[in-house]
Chain A
């Protein structure tokens, strides 16, 4: 008995299209109204904001915990979940207090009321309007068949029982629009649309317990977290990456690095003391010496270094510079002693041994500063493969020092 009903075109003109248009417009209106109302009274409670930020910090720690060594992760975790003064530790008395305070706060209650009203009122109004005006006739035909059980739901105003269930009343067209336009709203309104029912439910349920329970939850999840050191082989990976870079780049880069260093030397010399500048000149001259492989320059340099050491002993203002100069002098001498630049792998090894020896008594600041000029100089002189060996060995002592205490503790 599935005869095709012929429906009046007027139904299409005056029911389907207006209803859809009205629902779209009401959705847009609701979006803008909620945006306006939200921005007017936005004075956040400082205590709430502080707790929220603490939670964010704990979450960041958990998210990035695998990139810091185990010891530092543990130190941070203790800072958060310590019994006496840990940030996340909230004694039970305070927990109840905050929750009660939040519900009795009139501002909060007003906000919640406004949010709920702005969601519910347009829907109720539209539904009442549909029921009043558009009831009692067949509005549309849904293209797929449904069972008889749906008849009461979909054919509310139609009292003929022989009509196919596919022919529905306008109430069902309203509900179909209600659910189907959610996707359209997400396209035209962007991400902030509050027209989604499920989002509204989630917002309402998560609102009441935000600061207190989530603090406890964060503390628990932080305690549970297993630390896994994600960077044990990073120096090998860095070596691989550098190798790829180096193989593709020819030696002209070395010259540009040298010229850049000369420029930086010139600029730096204006700032630093006079005693320091001979150190930089020594650096550049050492580079030239090694690349050009000339004995005469070596002799010249030896004399200059002797002069420089005498000057350095006189000046005592900068702590780092003399150490830098001394190291470079020792390295230069070792280079001269070791070999002509053909045996360049030997030179970096000698320097790294030296660095490892001198790394212990020095401070960390001096260590970093000395490593950087050494790296620059060697890049300028030697082929890049030697650079990679040297950086790997340089990073290896650093990482093994860190890994050893971590391994010992674990």
Chain B
């Protein structure tokens, strides 16, 4: 699902020269932001399940979460051709948006998988 969503990152208008006011197509920007949030949620769920199965506990699990988020950011940047300007408002949107939003889902599925596999 993540790959399918990422393949539909849509291009939007932006200015050519730096000294002009940049124009952004609002609808496409929304679509891009939605894709980012979907991808991050999905990856956090998957990461939680993986962390639980592998038996990470404590700090290791959180480090794994941030590692997964970083991999996601790199993947998004690669999909956008390493140039944030035509697709997003700024680099921060690619790298940091939704970073902590998936944390709760991650913890839930991490707990779930960990208990399934190791305790019961």
Contacts and interface: CB of A to CB of B under 8 A. Distances in A.
B50 to A, nearest CB: 12
Contact of A143 (B23, B57, B104, B105): B57
A50 to B, nearest CB: 24
Given A16-B115, A180-B109, A187-B38, A230 B101 contact: no
B41 A142 contact: no
Contacts of A326: none
Contacts of B16: 237
Contact of A186 (B20, B37, B109, B116): B37
Nearest to B40: A183
A66 B23 CA distance: 10
Interface residues of B, number: 36
A9 B120 contact: yes
B108 A143 contact: no
A404 interface: no
Report whether over half of chain A's contact residues are helix, strand or loop; otherwise say mixed: helix
Contacts of A103: none
Contacts of A142: 107, 111
B111 A183 contact: no
A145 B58 CA distance: 6
B62 interface: yes
B105 A180 contact: yes
Nearest to B15: A230
A176 B111 contact: yes
A186 B101 CA distance: 12
A143 B120 contact: no
Contacts of B21: 66, 228, 230
State the 6 A-B residue pairs at the shortest beta-carbon distance, nearest first: A180-B108, A183-B105, A12-B120, A230-B21, A183-B41, A143-B114
22 contacts: A7-B119, A9-B120, A11-B120, A12-B119, A141-B111, A141-B115, A143-B61, A144-B57, A145-B58, A173-B111, A176-B107, A180-B108, A182-B105, A183-B41, A183-B104, A184-B41, A184-B45, A186-B37, A187-B38, A230-B21, A237-B16, A237-B17
